[in-house]
Amino acid sequence: MRVVVAKGFKKLTLAAISAASGENVAAVKYYFGNKAGLVDVLLEAVVYSELKLLACRRSTGSRDDGLSRIGEEIGVLSTPGKSDRILLEMLPHALRDKNLRMHLRRYYESFFELHMEQLGVGPGTDPERREEMRGFAMVLSAVADGLTIQSLVAPEHFDALVALRALDELFLRAVPCLERGEGD
């Protein structure tokens, strides 16, 4: 993670990991194989760090800002950190590299599942209900990404809490309507 944050995705190589870790290149190649192996582990580390952040947030209780659990968790996921810089560094490369796009797709799938659980339709829930809520899960990921980007670009002029409260209001109204079968 430090290599990508400090030097950029292009500089993520077996040699760079060797230099940063103090291990010889042969050992790094043995464990990772190639750059694709490094990317797999890097994305797993990003997912792990974000899930760990959410778990820590849950264990310390509510932020007392009036947000629902979904709003709080989107707030946690949209707070800029090292993992967000890594993903934003990888994005332009993913637009040109099909394999990297597939890595990022798997990353997003894990967060779609997290959001499905937040929406009360985790594994084992009625498949039709899960399918109805999948779009909401995708929107939650997009909102978290958008808030992160805005926070990174202009932290002194952007108040994510305003957007989170609006999102909260939307979900607090929309999800019960869907559960009752009202509206589209």
pLDDT digit string (tens) for 98-132?
988 888 888 888 888 888 888 888 899 999 988 88
User: Looking at the domain assignment, is residue 120 inside a domain?
Assistant: yes
User: Looking at the domain assignment, is residue 173 inside a domain?
Assistant: yes
User: Looking at the domain assignment, is residue 164 inside a domain?
Assistant: yes
For residues 116 and 137, the answer to whether their CB atoms sit within 8 Å is: yes
pTM: 0.73
Domain that holds residue 62: 39-179
User: Looking at the domain assignment, is residue 25 inside a domain?
Assistant: no
**Local confidence band at 30 (pLDDT 50, 70, 90 cut-offs):** very high
51-55, 75-79, 101-105, 137-141: least confidently modelled range? 51-55
User: Looking at the domain assignment, is residue 28 inside a domain?
Assistant: no
Query: Tokens standing for 118?
Result: 């937040």
User: Looking at the domain assignment, is residue 147 inside a domain?
Assistant: yes
User: Looking at the domain assignment, is residue 52 inside a domain?
Assistant: yes
3-state secondary structure of 22: coil
Total number of domains in the chain? 1
User: Looking at the domain assignment, is residue 102 inside a domain?
Assistant: yes
